[in-house]
Structures are given as C-alpha cells and as structure tokens.
Structure 1
Amino acid sequence: MSKPDKLKARQPRGFVDRGPADVAATERMLGVIRESFSRYGFDPVETPFVEFSDALGKFLPDQDRPNEGVFSFQDDDEQWLSLRYDLTAPLARYVAENYDALPKPYRSYRAGYVFRNEKPGPGRFRQFMQFDADIVGAGSVAADAEICMLAADTMEALGIKRGDYVVKVNNRKVLDGVMEAIGLGGDDNAGRRLTVLRAIDKLDKFGPEGVRLLLGEGRKDESGDFTKGAGLSEEQSTYVLAVVQNEAGYLAGSETEFDAVKDWNKNFDQNASMREGFAELDQIHALVVAAGYGSDRIRIDPSVVRGLEYYTGPVYEVELTFPVTNDDGQIVRFGSVAGGGRYDGLVGRFRPEPVPATGFSIGVSRLYSALKAVKSPIVDAKAELPLVVVTAMDNKSPEHMPGYQAFVSQLRQAKDEAGKPLLRADLYLGSSGFNAQMKYADKRGAVCAVIQGSSERDAGTVIIKDLILGAELAAAGREVKDSAEHKERQAQAQFAVPVAELVEGVRRVLKRHG
C-alpha cells in the first residue's frame, strides 16, 4: 500500500486496550471471586455476547429505538439482535429456556464483557467486564441475605479489609411506596418513576441540591450540558429527599442503625408497599445478624436505589469507604463497586408462572482500580510467575536452535517445592543481535537471561545473567564499584554453570529475589 492508503491505527472511544500486567492481575482477581462464589454453592454458566433485542427487555435506555443504549443490528431474517447490556437479562433467558432441567433454586455465577451504546467519559466505558452471582427460584428474602453476605465475604477475600467497605441494603418496595405517596404510581408514570430513581441514585455524586435539581426541572453540569429532570414539584422533591437522606444510623439516640430506620419511618404515612418493604428489611437484618455480620459489614440504608427498573424488592450496593485522591487532587471516597437486587419479574417474562430471582454484579474494572488503591497482593505484578529469557546468540545458524529450544523446554518443566510451575520461559525468536536481545529481556521484565555462545557451547556450560542485580550494580556510584562487595556481587550477577545444572542455576537467581 502507498503511504496515503495506510490505515490509521486508532481506538474507538469508550473502549480500552489492556496490557499483560492488567490481564494477569484481572485473572487472579477473577480467580478469587470464583473461589468465593463457589464456596457459597454457586455453579458457573456462560451466555453469549448477543441476544435477541426483545429478550434484553424494555428496562434499558432504548425504549423507543433498538439502537439507543445497546449496540444492535438486524440479522438476515430481519430480527433485531443486540450485544448484551448486562449479564442478568441473558441469565433470565437462559433459565427460562432450560427451566425444567435446572435445579431450583438455581445458583449460578458468570463473568464477561457487557456493552453500552452510551456517551463515554472519564471512568465510563462502552465495554466493561462484570461478574455476577444470582439465585433464581427462591422467593424468600433469605436469598437476598445470602447475596449480601457473599458480597461482604468476597470483598475481604480480595484484600479489602473490614471497615473499608460496607454492603448497603434498601428495598424498592419502600421506594415504590414513596412514588405512590407523591402521586407517581401506576403504569402511566413508569418513565417518570425511573427518572426519579436515577436522580436519587446520584446522591453521592451530586449531593442533595444536585439531586433536587434532577428531581425538578433539570441540572446543568460544569461543561454546560443539561440533563432534563423528573418535573416534580418542590413539595414532592422535598418529600423524596427527606426519605433518602435519612440514612441508617443518622438519628441520635437509637440503639442500632436498623432501629434508627424503623423509628424514623414512623414519622411518615406508610402505605402497603412501604410496610411490606420495611418488613423484608427487618427479616434481612435478622438473618445477617444471626450469621455474625455486623453493621460494619452489612447495613440498612434508605438512600440505595439502583437505576434499573426491573428491581422488585431488596436492592443492595457494595460501597468502598476508604479515601482516594481524584484527578483534581481532591480527597474523595471510592464509591460503589458492586450492586444488585431482587428482580422477580424478569424470568417470568418468558414463563407462564412467576419466577422469583435475586443477584448482584461486580464491576470488575472499577474493583480492579480499588484493589490497586489498597495495594492488594492480588493485583501485585510480583504475583506473576517470574520470566526467564533464553537468548539465541547464534540465531543466524539454524543448527544451534535445537539446543536453545532444549534449554527453554527444561525451564518450562521446572517445578517448585509444591510441585507447581516455577517460572515462565521465553526463547528469543527474533533476528537481532545480542545487545538487542538483552534490551528485549529488560523490556519483558525478565528476572534473568540464559546465554550460550560458541565458547560456552564448547565448554558445555551456559551463562546465567541476573538482570535485576545487574541493574542495581549499574546504578551504583563509582566509589562503590571498586569495593570488594561490589566485585562479589558482580560475580553473582553473571555466572556460568554446566548445562546439566541450568535449572538449579536459575533457581539461585529466583531465590535471591524472593
């Protein structure tokens, strides 16, 4: 191709590439989550990236057009297909399709990418990974309590210590009762109810006054973009904010956080929906306390909303409470990394009988950022097996490549004391010379390099070069370089061993660096 015809390498907005360190750390994180979910008796299941658009439901932002909110296309039979928006709607379809073959209640977990055709921004992507756990077929709020306890245990398994997170629980029946009390009940007001709920969901981000604007005529952000509000009156907005701002434990004189919620709600006229919601919260509170989970881990919180319309009962969020510094240098709380709730109507859209269900979803990318912030060993690059690069000094001579291949094969078969792989081994397959090969090893982050030229081949030896120690010695000052200790360390940084002792020589280097 001529120069003008060359394609320009560019990345679509809202999508990101991930390098080897991020991929490896994410895999370790997912492994810990899988182990935690498995201990609770959840089994894995995998659903495809693409579903029929109508199976994803009317709960997404694409109420009028199938290509708004979701990435959609038409099949050759003119049916609309869409990339999945979350992992819950595909699970509902899967359970309905395999209903008779599945054990009920059905506990499952799944991880995968989801796609949202929305305006990208800082920390907001069009493709991101979620990890879900759901219980389908259990109508009791004991299932919701299980999900909350699972969420708490998973955070601690990932290295987020107690006190740095909290699982906050509310009930959409309480919120539905609030909507009914301000005159937004019934199907005709479904759209406005959703706008109100999404406004409430921004309380942590925009504060009470920002939410008041979103409940009323709308809010203009710092860039000048205007978000249309729910159109509530001042009286309606005041009532809604009064409910959601009275978080658990905020009332003085109450013995427990849950009692604070119950005492506070005596001040409001409760309809049937609110009474049922608070009764369910009472049950969840009793269950988690009986299992040993205090309010420092799981607490009732009337400000939790969750933005999707399909929630029908208890809803919950996992919030990280430790402070971090944002891009503007401000100290802020990290916020929510997971959430979910009860969605008793979702599976029933495909079945003649009602099918209760509850579950939660972890935002993997956001949680990964949080684990880096708390320096969890799970996302530490040192957790990856060390890399050894076997150089090919005579890479222009094909007859010597089998010998190099034999070295790398020995290293790949090496085991530690527990019988697990000791290291990763890479044979240099390029055509560059020795200096470029060493730069390659440095760029790969290798711990050491294995070298054999013609002299070593004749002597039946290999040279092992400790790249970490070598870098330290290169950075030492002149006054240090003449010392006996420095010369001794130089001998450790590059040494020869018989070919038969290759693995043992590499072990010496790995042991030196822990």
Structure 2
Amino acid sequence: MADKSEKMKARLPRGLVDRSPQDIRAVDEMIAKIRAVYELYGFEPADQPLIEYTDALGKFLPDQDRPNEGVFSFQDDDEQWLSLRYDLTAPMARFVAENYDRLPKPFRSYRAGWVFRNEKPGPGRFRQFMQFDADTVGTPGVAADAEMAMMMADVMEALGIARGDYVIRVNNRKILDGVLEGIGVTQDWQKLAVLRAIDKADKFPLSEVKKLLGDGRWSEENEEGDFTRGAGLNADQIEVVISMTNSLSAVGAELTETEYLRRAVLRRGGIAGQFAWSITQFPGHSVLENPKFIQGEDELAQIQELCARAGYGPDRVKIDPSVVRGLEYYTGPVYEAELLAEIPNEDGKIVRFGSVGGGGRYDGLVSRFRGEPVPATGFSIGVSRLMTALKNLGKLDTSDVIQPVVVLVMDKDTQSLGRYQKIVSDLRRAGIRAEIYLGGAGMKAQLKYADRRGSPVAVIQGGNEREAGQVQLKDLIEGARQAAAIADHAEYKEARPGQVTVAEADLVAEVRKILDAQAQERARGGQ
C-alpha cells in the first residue's frame, strides 16, 4: 500500500485557470462570430508559434535587460533565448518580415491564440489568456485605421451588443507625443512612463496617477508594497499632462461630429484650442506648432470623416483623445472597444466592464526587421474578458448543448459489448451524440453517472430485453421531473417514471422522439 505522506498535492499554478466545457463552447461560439466579421472584411486566417526568439520581441518587452522579466523565457541547447509569446502582434511582425517578398501588400490577416505574461497575478490579471487579433500591414494612410474602428463596431453588434451599449474610442499618439515634446519630455523611457500612468487613470484616483507621473508610487494592493518608478516629471509638467488629459476627454465627449471636423480644419479651434489655456500656463511651450501634434489632429479628423461617410457616427466610433494605450510600439492612431452597459459580474454586482479590446498603428514593429518603413495597424480582442461580459449579458448561452445519450453495459462479455457498441454506432450514424459506458460499475452507478453527465436518455438492454429484441429507454429529464412529484419509494418503483420499452429496430426513432419532446419543453420554458 502506498504511503499517503508521499502523495503529490494537486494544485493549479497561480494566475492560471482550468476551463469548463461551458466556457470552451462559449469561446468557440464567440470566436466564430468574430471570425465571420473579419472574413467579411477580407481578412485571412494566419497563425504563428507560441514560442519566439526573445530578441524578436525586442525592446517591447517590459524589461529587455532581464529576459525572464515580463515573459516566460528559457535557453535552448545552443544557448539562444526563447520566450513564450507576450502578444500576437510581435510574432506576426516577425512572420511578415521573414516572408515579406512573397506576401501580398497590404497583408490582411487575423489570428486567435494564447499569450503569456510573467507577471504577478491578481484579480482579472492572468498569466495565460487568449487574444483574437486582426492586422493590416502595408497601408500608410489612416483609412486602414478607420476600417479597424468600423470593423470593431461591427464585431460588437455581431456579438449581440446593442448600439449604445458599446463605443469604439479613437485617439492618436502623435497628439500626446507633441504635447510631451512641447513641455520638454523627450526621453523614450519618460514618454512610456507617462503613457502607462495616463492609462491607469480609469483604475487609480488622480492623486495616484500624479505619483506615477512624478517620482513613483508604492502599491497598496498587496502587503509587499511594490514600488513603480515614475516618469520623473516636475510639478508644472504634471499639471500640463493632467490638464491636457482632462480637457481632451471633455472634448471627445462634447463635440459633435460636424463641429469637431470644422474645428480641426480651423486648426486653432480644434483640439488645440480646447486646452491651449492649460498649455500656455507652462513657460516655453510650443505644443500648438509641434508637427506631431498637428499631424495627429489632422489624422483624427480624417478618421472621423471616413467613419461618418460610411455611416459610423459618434454613437459607434467616437474621437476620444483621452485614450492612450500603454504599449510602447504604437506610433499613431490608437483605439479601444469599450462596453458601456452595466453588467452583473460573477458575484452578481453591477459593474462597468470597460475596455474589452484595443489596438493601434505600429509602423516601427515590422520595420525593425527590414531596415525600411513598413506601416501597420491592428486590433486585439481580450477573449476571456469579452466572453465573461457576454455571458453575464446572456449573449452566450450554451445551455442548449445536448449531452450524449448513455448506453448502459449490463453484461461485459465480448458478444454483449459488441451489441452495445452497435447500438451506439446506430445512434451516432443518425447524428445523435452517444457513448457506451466504459467504467466498471453496476447499473445503479451507471445511471448516476448518466445523471451527472446531464444525459437526456439512458439506453438499457439486459438479457431479457436482448432475447425479446427490445431495449428500455429512460428519459432522464422527464424521469427526474416526475420523480420529484413522487414521495413514496414503492410508488416510484411502480410508476417507473419516464421509462419505456421499445423494439430494438425502433431505437433511433424512439430516442429521436424523446429528444424532440425535451427540445419542445425547453422552448416552452424559455418563452
């Protein structure tokens, strides 16, 4: 007898989740709907490996000096560093660069898959999660960015999210870059720190965001009190960034489409004019004449016009210059898909799910492999987060999945097993999910197994039924309902609820009849 003290403990690593059949089916249903929209827009499926050379992920890792920081990395037998992919975009960029000459340009592709983050797990923060991306490589103009925003609006509605319960928010990183350059923030690490600080504005109070813009912030979310290095801005610079972000957010909320376009054309009456009062408080500012700022404003106006002409008004695609996105590799327009509906979470509390996907233009990602400009833009959907929201909205109901009919095994000799196997095969050929019980338990335990599986019907054939050319069919759904109304055990045995004896030749037709009756009952219950 084995020593119980040596028994290995079964435990799930932190930051990972086991997936239930319901969740897997819900994801499959959701991905099928998203894929249909991507295909409608002319995108083609593609896939890259889960593992890449670490240097292919490059400077876009959280910390390139420590290969294991932020990503899961290891060395192969020739001491090359390999990493599990951090997102789907960097592997796609490597693939395009490696196959550039044979691919059509623009190259329009989509991919779904798992990505991995070597980060401290927490609520809603996992080490493994799924993304579903679409990317266009080789289109320099913002028409490709406008198309991404429109496609994401179509995805939301294809998933059953009503107009008014979502919005695609669009901004341009060039605007913020122009502001930062105008106030003297030119170092790349500072710009990235500012972006990440602003990106936390919907999670942290303003006082904590200011700490991230300044010297840094000690975390209060855990006992260790981790320290996050700040952007190192001085007080005046912080006030300009905060004022700019708040003012731009108000602009996105208040301006109508026509008014926004008119002001953009007038230049000083556009975005710049709305928050110039805050910029002018900083000595030596030059934001309003900054080329990046001007170009960013122009591009936003073009996106707004393209979307409007295609019928995507601000109720679906909205210019919102408070969107920044935290990743470093974005170089132009950025966008987020946000759910506006108040949705019950897993605990039944009403919450705003917020962003369920995002993306933007990343003109430098493919270029670094080729040494020449390669424009690209793309969008990534957070599959698990969106699935949770859709399930809680009742948009992904997989309860109508019919579990398999279970054929009980009453006799275990080879000849009898062959007869049971024929019954299962007949059901499967008729398109009915079915399985033969392959355990070692008796009839009572087999019926308990079928109940636990949620099976609709159990097929029973003992020696007497076999000799008579018959089978017993136990309607497990109706039987459970009838049994609940029968209090006395003797009465239960006498009634034999939900159980009929039929000719073996009529097996498939009779099982089908039971399944149809159950389907009608479910339909009546759903009305």
Structure-2 change in CA distance of 1:380 and 1:349 (3 Å):
same
Query: Which residue of structure 1 aligns with residue 368 of structure 2?
Result: 349
Identity of aligned residues (%): 58
Deviation at 1:153, TM superposition (A): 0.9
Q: Distance in 1 between matches of 2:461 and 2:247?
A: 72
1:298 maps to 2:298: no
Residue type of the alignment partner of 1:312: T
Structural mapping, 1:6-25, within 5 Å: 6-25=7-26
2-side partners of 1:305 and 1:173: how far apart?
10
| Counterpart for residue 221 of structure 1 | 220
Counterpart-to-counterpart distance in 2, 1:203 and 1:248 = 11
Offset from partner CA, 1:22-50 (integer Å, 9 cap, x none): 11221222222222211111111110111
Query: Does the alignment pair 1:440 with 2:459?
Result: no
Pair 473,252 (structure 1): closer, same or farther in 2 beyond 3 Å: closer
1:219-368 superposed matches below 5 A: 219=217, 220-223=219-222, 225=225, 226-247=227-248, 254-256=255-257, 259=260, 262=264, 263-266=270-273, 267-268=275-276, 269-270=287-288, 271-325=290-344, 331-368=350-387
Show the 5 A alignment for 1:114-263.
Answer: 114-185=115-186, 189-219=187-217, 220-223=219-222, 225=225, 226-247=227-248, 254-256=255-257, 259=260, 262=264, 263=270
8 Å CA contact retained: 2:252, 2:320: no
| Structure 2: distance between partners of 1:327 and 1:370 | 9
Matches within 5 A, 1:385-396: 385-394=402-411, 396=412
Q: 1:471 to 1:250 in 2, by over 3 A?
A: farther
Give the 3-state SS of the residue equivalent to 2:399 in structure 1: helix
Distance 1:182 1:326 in 2: 42
Q: CA deviation at 1:63?
A: 2.3
Runs of 5+ consecutive residues of structure 1 not aligned to the other structure: 415-420
Deviations 1:62-112 (A, max 9, x none): 222111111111111111111110000000000011111111100001111
Counterpart of 1:418?
A: none
| Aligned residue number for residue 452 of structure 1 | 461
- 2:508 counterpart residue number: 503
The whole-number CA distance in structure 1 between the counterparts of 2:40 and 2:422 is: 42
Cα distance in structure 1, aligned partners of 2:475 and 2:134: 45
Task: Report the equivalent of 1:407.
Answer: 423
User: Match of 2:57, as an amino acid?
Assistant: L
CA distance in 1, matches of 2:96, 2:248: 36
Query: Partner residue of 1:472?
Result: 481
Q: State the match for 1:372 in structure 2.
A: 391
Aligned length: 496
Question: Contact 2:342–2:350 at 8 Å: present in 1 too?
Answer: yes
> What is the letter of the counterpart of residue 410 of structure 2?
M
Aligned CA-pair RMSD: 2.4
Instruction: Write the letter of the residue equivalent to 1:342.
Output: R
Deviations 1:196-249 (A, max 9, x none): 101111111114333223212333424452433222222212211222223556
| CA displacement at 1:134 relative to structure 2 | 0.2
Deviations 1:388-422 (A, max 9, x none): 1111122x3222011111111111121xxxxxx4x
TM-score, with structure 2 as normaliser: 0.89
Give 4+ residue runs of structure 1 displaced > 6 Å after superposition.
none
Q: CA shift at 1:487, angstroms?
A: 12
Specify the code of the residue in structure 2 equivalent to 1:203.
A
Once the two structures are superposed, the pairs formed by residues 72-111 of structure 1 within 5 Å of their partners are 72-111=73-112
Aligned to 1:41: 42
Return the alpha-carbon distance in structure 2 between the equivalents of residues 360 and 139 of structure 1: 16
CA distance 1:255–1:294, shift in 2 (3 Å) = closer
Q: Which amino acid aligns with 1:513?
A: Q
Q: In 2 relative to 1, CA 167–196 (structure 1 residues): closer, same or farther, beyond 3 Å?
A: same
Q: Which runs of 5+ in 2 are unaligned?
A: 265-269, 277-286, 520-527
1:257 Cα deviation from its structure 2 partner: 8.2
Pair 329,18 (structure 1): closer, same or farther in 2 beyond 3 Å:
closer
CA 345–370 in structure 1, closer or farther in 2 if over 3 Å, else same: same
Distance in 2 between residues matched to 1:346 and 1:227, nearest whole Å: 26
Between 1:239-248 and 1:252-261, the stretch displaced more is: 252-261
SS in 2 for 1:146: helix
C-alpha separation in 1, matches of 2:424 and 2:54: 50
- Corresponding residue number in structure 2 for 1:417: none
- 1:397 corresponds in structure 2 to 413
